Structure 1
């Protein structure tokens, strides 16, 4: 079969459009990260500015959902990706930056830094955040903290709180923060997954946890 020059041009344009569309759509699901400057990316990762490869756009989308905002628009533009955030329809522009979970993260700090703190202090600080976190769980996921504590135990509740602070955290880090063993944490994670409180996405190395909305 022979094609005219015009048909070949159109086929080439269509192929490019499909590739661009595919690349952008992949940013909304778990994907591999291919930094354009590996040395700069590695320095940012080791400095703590990047917590997991390939999670940036997913965390933006999750943050918008948590804040009750429309899903952001991702488009490829001038060799890069443009992200457009939208305010709620009819809502005000401006106001405080960050929702409840950002304030909780700021108060508790990073989990890596908490590994150096005595676990009893960590648990005491988590207990002091129980009011804020209970309201966050209830309003965003329909989860009642007291029910989690009564059904699965306080360690499961603390594990859930820590997952809301950093959903890429490992069982090893959780065990250090809470002063228990990785196997114990795995058992609590398993109970939360079995009861559809949380869901795991991706591999053990590069995956993350999602807190599920309760029906």
Structure 2
């Protein structure tokens, strides 16, 4: 018979409780940097044994490697106790905080408890790889400068994500819950950059019709807070990438050339790790064959995205307070796992990517697909009055940069004829010219 469970020892009757066992390992690692789970042992310490097959230990190892991040040192042994098999899974590591299945836990006596926001924040603040002191400094702005509507939306999203349990009462109380105000009641820097309504963050957005970037088709300088800039960055890319259509039964599904979830992961990462105190700006650049997302912060201490994706190291947070707030409303699923999800999304969708991390910042580039169709052609007979309209829309759907001269040559008609059809299509709202006549492109609307 085994001794009792403790803050470093957990018993599980069978490996059908493997998920719960991994959560216990996560909790023990966060509390003590080590822990052991025995499978085949009841809660009272009595031995019932565990069936062991050819793949049992391999399945345990795979489940741990997939769902315990970052990956600690793991040792799996099978013991024979009173002619009954007991599997001992031991973990050791100090790269806290550890997450299990995207959530964070700590150990209290023999119980696993969900880690609250203050505990999680203290983990990051205790690391020497953060710049949390800047976040906590007074911003000079009062609570009156907060975008309260956005704050209310945020609280709702955090509650829906199950990471807050708080009903909004007033801005001061909500910001205090998020550790975003100073002792004298003003916003700290993190609070100002997250919820300020005076546009504390600059996002530069530019689109070029070609890869040589000699002339731009669109140029924007958007000012907002971090949450607003994340939303704006997502809108800008989603509105300017190509889509193909797939028909599933009676339903039509638009397929983006770059997975939206992958874009979201990189944009959120960009603002979570940005170096704000120097006044630098994030930037999104779209060319004919690439979408590039840049932030001036860079990854800390020479780390690489592959290090985080593989689980070899935990997340190194530049702005732990900002990252903690983004975690609560679900923008960050689990620290250090965003690159892993991005790489998998790209691999599953055949999207190539590259990245660069240097003294100037971190740049992530998606390679755009050359899809056959930009958007499917509207079937409204009033919009497409004749076969010429349909042919023009079909050609544009295949090449959004096609010129009126090329259209006229392909159709064997004059340029004025093409111009009349283009005018009709734009007036009916199914076609729009984005950018200048010389360097812009066509966008099909629905």
Q: TM-score range by the shorter chain?
A: 0.3 to 0.5
TM-score, normalization by structure 1: 0.46
Which structure's residues are more often strand, by fraction? 2
Higher Cα Rg: structure 1 or 2?
2
TM-score, normalization by structure 2: 0.25
